[in-house]
Copies of this chain bind each other. A is one copy, B any other.
Amino acid sequence: MQFQVIRQDSQSQARAGLINTAHGQVPTPTFMPVGTHGAVRTLSQRELEEAGVKLLLCNTYHLWLRPGLEVIQKAGGLHRFIGWNHPILTDSGGYQIFSLARLNKISEEGTTFQSHLDGSHHLFTPEKVTEIQHAFGVDIIMPLDHCIAYPCTYGAAQEASALTTRWAERSLKRHQELSQEESVGSSPTLFGIIQGSVYTELRRASAQQSLALDFPGYAIGGLSVGEPKSSMYEVLQTVLSLLPVNKPRYLMGIGYPEDLVECVSLGLDMFDCVIPTRNGRNGMVFTSSGRMVLRNAQYAQDFSPIDPECQCYACQNYTRAYIRHLFQVEEILALRLASLHNVYFFLKMMEQMREAIRKDCFQKWREEFRNRFQKSHSVF
């Protein structure tokens, strides 16, 4: 993977960049839809392509349980298994073990857990998680990290963060060994992950330790887990001030459109979140003038598209009234159209931000976005 900053905004930390991978280019800032089991819920790979998705996130924990590594390897890797010939990033499974698995136990060696599906016992070590992701053959991979709940004590956060660092060292070592065995250009890129909860001192330490390992990209984890927004932004300010400008910065699990805009202005390059699809399935869509709950009775006879300015398949072909009707009668097409529109909206928003940064009018764009999108939250 290679990364270059193409344009630095003059009035904020926002920057437009380009990630190069063996499976194609990813202009940044970029948003990754979440393809938990190797598919973004309700959507096809063609629809992702049409929405402008360049980088897809898949979950190591889920794919390792089902269909399992053997099937993915026999298919010729994750790209071929899922029919997606563009870049893929996989997470480490740390968050899923923390949030889904039963009886997860952390030790120096790694984390043991019971599958949320059948209760079977498993051990994920930093080495094993690295090996799994190498075997997937994806483009960007994450080291196993120790995610902890919010709120947590300073001591607990410190311990988890320190363990994450020690695991990062082991992950990197195994990653380097594996990369040497692999043919040139076929190895994935391993990012570092910065933890430390809401404690800026711990975040600073975690960032410095991660920087010492000289990863080609840095992820910021453990945010948007219940902490106040102000804490999140405090952590981001702290961490971002330490990160080098020439490496991509990935904010994990964020967020709502207004958060994405704010975080782009702080200099973040990569994002992933289930919001566009999860909210879409619940009938909530994002538009250029705010949010809209499509199930609401007010749309029963509204024959305009979800967003008159949107070029997505849903907006070009269907009305609010029809999609609301599909939600009412529980047709799957409702979930599809709302998810499709939301993913398209998120990707379009990122494209507009990249464009604005390149044209050095990001502040103006951000202002207009705020006026149109955020002032209309009363639509809820």
Q: Give A36 to B67 CA distance when docked, in angstroms.
A: 34
Contact status of A317 and B45, CB under 8 A, knowing A75-B303, A331-B37: yes
Does A332 make an interface contact (CB < 8 A)? yes
Pick the contact of A82: B36, B83, B322 (CB < 8 A): B322
As a 0/1 sequence over residues 267 to 301 of chain A, the CB contacts with chain B under 8 angstroms (1 = contact) are 00000000000000000000000000000000011
Cβ B332 vs Cβ A332 within 8 A: yes
| Residue A150 CB within 8 A of the other chain | no
A74 in contact (CB, < 8 A): yes
Smallest beta-carbon distance A318→chain B, Å = 5
Chain B residues with CB under 8 Å of A66's CB are 325, 328-329
User: Closest CB of chain B to A15's CB: distance in Å?
Assistant: 35
Are A332 and B41 touching (Cβ within 8 A)?
A: yes
Which residues from 166 to 205 on chain A have a C-beta closer than 8 Å to any C-beta of chain B? none
Would B329 and A332 count as touching, CB distance under 8 A? no
Proximity string of chain A (9-23) to chain B, C-beta cutoff 8 Å, 1 when within and 0 when not: 000000000000000
- B39, B67, B74, B300: the one contacting A333 at CB < 8 Å is B39
Residue of B nearest to A82 (CB): B322
* Shortest distance from the beta carbon of A100 to any chain B beta carbon, whole Å: 13
Q: How many residues of chain A get a CB closer than 8 Å to chain B's CBs?
A: 40
- A245 to B37 Cα, complex, angstroms: 53
Given A46-B317, A332-B335, A301 and B71 contact (CB-CB distance below 8 Å): yes
In the complex, the answer to whether B317 meets A67 with C-beta atoms within 8 Å is no
Cα distance A354–B81 when bound, in Å? 37
Chain B contacts of A325 at CB under 8 A?
37-38, 66-67, 71, 81
Residues of B contacting A162 in the complex (Cβ-Cβ under 8 angstroms)? none
**A39 and B326 contact, CB distance less than 8 A:** yes
Which chain A residues (56-92) contact chain B, with CB distance < 8 Å?
A: 62, 66-67, 70-71, 74-76, 81-83
Name which residue of chain B comes closest to A325, CB basis: B67
B residues within 8 A CB of A300? 67, 71
CB within 8 A of A301: which of B74, B317, B332, B333? B74
When the two chains form their complex, are residues B303 and A62 in contact, meaning their CB atoms are under 8 A apart? no
Chain B residues near A335 (CB-CB < 8 A): 332
Q: Within the assembled complex, what's the spacing in Å between the Cα atoms of A322 and B79? A: 11
Min CB gap A313→B, angstroms: 7
Cβ-defined partner of A37 (8 Å) among B74, B75, B329: B329
Residue contact A74 to B318, C-beta cutoff 8 Å: no
Within 8 A of B (CB), among A324-347: 325-326, 328-329, 331-333, 335-337
Tell me the complex Cα distance, A38–B313, Å: 17
Q: How far is the CA of A342 from the CA of B347 in the complex (A)?
A: 32
A321 touching B71, Cβ below 8 Å: yes
Please list the 3 inter-chain residue pairs (A to B) with the smallest Cβ-Cβ separation, ordered nearest first.
A37-B329, A67-B325, A42-B332
